[in-house]
Structure 1
Amino acid sequence: MVEAADKPSLRQRILGEAEESLRPIEVCGPCSIGFRVAAATAYARSGELARSRQSLADAERIAGMWQGGPWQAAVWEARGALRLAEGDPAQAAALMREAARLFSESGRPLDEARCLAEVVAAAAG
């Protein structure tokens, strides 16, 4: 839902509702990684860089449980989204290229293609 939201205000509302839903229950780290990665990216795209950094730090910690794989790739993609929001398109493109490579190695061609499209978009400025 967060990724499909086309307006920052809608992303914020969805993220707020998700955080409220997770707050009263104990959610294991590995189970929350999808939310953490999506939140890091959505917050970056909405200009909430501090919240993006916090969600990214949580996702990085959890993704460290696995060697390679799609969660590692997703974290690289979120890093790229944050760097782009911070105004560093060259670094964002490099991070997205790494995400694309890791998605490719994980057999995730649609995710790979999305990251490669982000490389082109970042290069275009």
Structure 2
Amino acid sequence: MHRKFITYVMTAISASGVFLSFYVQYFLGIPPCLECIILRYSYLLLALIYPLSLIKRSILPIIAAVSVIITAVSIWGVLGYLGILPNPCIESCPIGLSAEIGRNLSALALFGGVLSLIASNLLWKKSNS
């Protein structure tokens, strides 16, 4: 795959994560918890630095580090919603539909984090070849 294609796709995925978080907050009226805020700004950072990686490849380790943070926070969220780990963010969610939305958003963020890790690895390999 081409470096630019991977970068553009991951920028779009990261930006859509940010837009989705604002949609949930402002259109569905569900206030963000700490997990949501961490994920929102992590994805915003990715959306800003993925395009910069085309110019400055030394940014790729930062992308990988942010992707690890997203993956770790998302795993914490998913395991919290499954009742395996305690997660205070779940307790702060309003009762009702938002718990289901929170679980789904954590799962989507986990998917995006893993995808970003894979993409950063592919970009790193392409930059070293």
TM-score (normalizing by structure 2): 0.34
- Structure in which a larger fraction of residues adopt helix: 2
Larger of the two Rg values belongs to structure: 2
TM-score (normalizing by structure 1): 0.35
